[in-house]
Amino acid sequence: MTQHIDPGFEARFTSFINTANGYLATTPPINISVSLNEAAARYHAWVWAKMAPSEAEFAAKKAEAADYFVDQCRKMFEAHFDDYVRTYDKNFPKDETKA
């Protein structure tokens, strides 16, 4: 995980993961992942809308916002993916590898 200046980051991050994990008893992990992605995308769009001084200026920032979101998501995903590669055998015993 990357370093963050915001002191509340880790608590929120952990809370979101714990909430997602709470659905594992009834929902396949891939479905939970899709829901998290949808929620993140919607929230990210809302943040950009809230920062914009007008509808026109918000609309004009669509490409910039999308580029930022996709770039940040890719960086975070790749860092976490690499972490799971390094710790795969520890985190996923052979009988638990199916999603």
Domains of the chain: 9-91 (1.10.287.3020)
DSSP 16-58: HHHHHHTTTTTS-HHHHHHHHHHHHHHHHHHHHHHH-SSHHHH
What gap in Å lies between CA 83 and CA 1, rounded to an integer?
8
Contact 51, 26 (CB under 8 A): no
What gap in Å lies between CA 73 and CA 66, rounded to an integer?
10
pLDDT of residue 86: 96
pLDDT band at 93 (very low <50, low <70, confident <90, very high): confident
Angle between helices 29-51 and 9-21 (to 10 degrees): 140
Q: Which amino acid is at 38?
A: E
What predicted TM-score, i.e. pTM, was given to this entire model?
Answer: 0.81
Give the pLDDT confidence of 1-56 residue by residue, as tens digits.
Answer: 556 679 999 999 999 999 999 999 999 999 999 999 999 999 999 999 999 999 99
SS3 72: helix
